[in-house]
Amino acid sequence: MAKFLNTSGITYHLEQLIKSTKERLVIISPYLRLSDKIRELIEDLDRLKIDIRLVYGKNDLHPRESAWLESLTFVRCSFCKNLHAKCYLNESEAIITSMNIYEFSQVNNNEMGIVFNRDDDPELFKDTYDEAQRLIRISDQVKISVELIEAEVVEDDPIAEANSLAKQISTSQLAKQLKRPSKALFSELQEKGWIARNDNNWELTDLGKQKGGEVKNSKRFGDYITWPQNVSLD
């Protein structure tokens, strides 16, 4: 039978739900600001090649969050307009709750929810699963949103605008210019030793600086790496 959860109970059962996933994990939450623990659990599922679907509804992903998502092979992320539902489920259990998968909510808010499983509540589980699938179907792939956000970093920051005049462009813009996926370009730059991964962030190396790379800062989005528009990858 369904069990009532308070804030701490939601956090606990969400972690247990992710840990116990064997086939597929679905996370539906308007806001995505994952705690280190949730990130760690999702990364472990990704290493196990388990299918993970993230559906969010607020088009304000931080570039660092986007870069982390892009680094995961078996995570597919999509944007659902007007999303307000919060639901987390795998092949055997589901949580419906007021709590976003948002670290601030887990720590500061008073939340409620219920947890139930497929064996004890088959009809409720099926209805929840079917609605989750519908939301996935009507959602747009996040690749479009990520590119828009990363482009916005340059447009919103006066310093970045000056860099644009100096023909410095972001890594994502460089990928678009070269007609390559952003993820592939980040991997190539890492292999060349121009950038390096530090926790969930990309950092510019000394070699990258020699190639003309620069670290810029946006008050809204934080640090990001730019390159000369005519940089050669050969």
pLDDT of 207 > 90? The answer is yes
Q: Which two structure tokens, joined as six digits, stand for 138?
A: 């009507």
Say if residue 80 is in the same domain as residue 130. Answer: yes
**Mean pLDDT of all residues in 193-211:** 87
Say if residue 128 is in the same domain as residue 195. Answer: no
Q: Which residue has the higher pLDDT, 86 or 233?
A: 86
pLDDT for residue 144: 35
pLDDT for residue 93: 98
What 3-state DSSP class applies to 132?
helix
Residue 148 maps to a domain: no
- Structurally, the chain folds into a number of domains equal to 2
pLDDT tens figures, 60-103? 666 677 778 878 889 998 889 899 999 999 999 999 999 998 77
Domain span at residue 199 reads: 157-228
Q: Confidence class of residue 18 from pLDDT cuts 50, 70 and 90?
A: very high
**Mean pLDDT of all residues in 178-199:** 86
Query: What one-character-per-residue DSSP string does 58-108 give?
Result: -S---HHHHHHHHT-TTEEEEE-TT----EEE-SSEEEEES--EEHHHHHH
Residue 233 maps to a domain: no
